[in-house]
Structure 1
Amino acid sequence: MTRTALVTGAARGIGAATVDRLVADGYRVMALDSCEGPPKATSDDLDAVMARHGDRVLGRVVDVRDRVGLAGAVADAVREWGHLDVAVAAAGVVHGGEALWETPDPVLQDLWDVVARGVWNTAAAAVPAMLAGPDPSRCRFVAVASAAGTHGLFHLAAYGAAKHAVVGMVKGLAADLVGTGVTASAVSPGSTDTEMLRRTANLYDVPVEELARRQLIRRVIDPSEVAAAIAFCASPAGGVVNGTVLHADGGFEG
């Protein structure tokens, strides 16, 4: 039986690389993105992902803040393919550049809504479909966390708080899923070659390479490398990574 997946934040960056990797591994993928436009991804970005893969990828413009929209996308995937095996919550935004006490409330709210509640909403929409499917023991929920979900980073307190929440969610979700066969985990990237990394570097007014020096591999990570880690967690064999975080961060030193 062909495995199927839903990926949020799929129009570019780690999300797009994850779609590419899952398709290469034989999946059919429902690719979702809000496509809000610069500095976020656009509908053209999502169209490009779909164009690379033909009928193996279906695309939908869905915001992870919209649980009804997510539920509709899950229903579409099940209607099209008969089941849903994997959900990857990769949608995210980054804000920062101020100390915690200087961070505006709208910034904190946006990070919480997209980064934290976005993962919550994706799980709430996707997990029931996995439990109702033909073989829950092969089903996986994978969230993209961050090195900021483990470390405290300068002038990124709000972003770090949201990513810490993501880690807490997958741990709690895994506990809720005990005995069902479905597993939940997070993959925590380090400095990865994405638009979000470039925006982070701009917050600090440093080159991207400066951020990469905080990793033991002393280079920027390619999105495909993070996607490979996500693909393992999403695989039937990846059930051993459950209720925990796989650190795909190149040895992030904090």
Structure 2
Amino acid sequence: MSTPAEWSELAVAQVQGRTRLVASKSIQPLKILNPGAAHAACHVVLSSYGGGLVAGDDLRLRIHGGAGTRLCLSTQANTKVFKSIDGQWAAQHFAGTLEAGALAAVLPDPVVPQADSRYRQHQRWDLAPGALLLLADWWAAGRTDLGERFAFQNFTSETRISVAGRPLVLDRFHFDPAEHIATAPANFDRYETMLTVYLVGPPKRRALPRWPGPCTPSKCRCRTTRTSAWQAAPACWRWPRRAPA
């Protein structure tokens, strides 16, 4: 039985009114960089030794955003996935937690699975009420500038996001070019990349419009709308009016 891979870790916290990287642990092939910044947010860049993931790599990273922090997480370049050897997979696992009032923008460059590669990715984010997550999941068809297009063996990803312990997002994707026709209109057609963006968190509260007079069925209708994943708030709309004859 193989030994589970060790987890890398990074954590940010508020320090004298600014978000700072307070914990960092890198397990190869991952390398964590923290470029200096004059603003109050913290920018962390993920890189790797060797310029990509080889067959058998199992990169695991835990991310923690303390209360009220502001984190931008990006990558140094595209994440290249090299060809599989003996059917082995290259894998990445991310587990993130955000405390109340924290904001994280996770904006990596695309994953680029090269010919004959096999790639697996799992992401799980747990948010406290009041936290906000902007997450981009981006991958390309291969080294398209070299004419390589959907030449990998397998690509699998799973994204889970929960708020206050309540699951909100479960997005699974699997693509096998040997079984699926990549250029079919139902799949990718002429396109060569796929980008999914998730925005999870409380919306900015806006004052409701003030209607003249009491709220009556002849003037407006009221209903309850989901303004966030865990909180309901009333909203009000006018009844549509007919244009004068």
**Structure with the bigger percentage of strand:** 2
- Higher Rg of the two aligned structures: 2
Indicate whether the TM-score tops 0.5: no
Q: How would you bin the TM-score normalised by the shorter chain?
A: 0.3 to 0.5
- Give TM-score, length-normalised by structure 1: 0.33
Identify the structure with the greater helix proportion. Answer: 1
Of structures 1 and 2, the one with the larger relative CO (CA 8 A, separation 6+) is 1
TM-score with structure 2 setting the length: 0.33
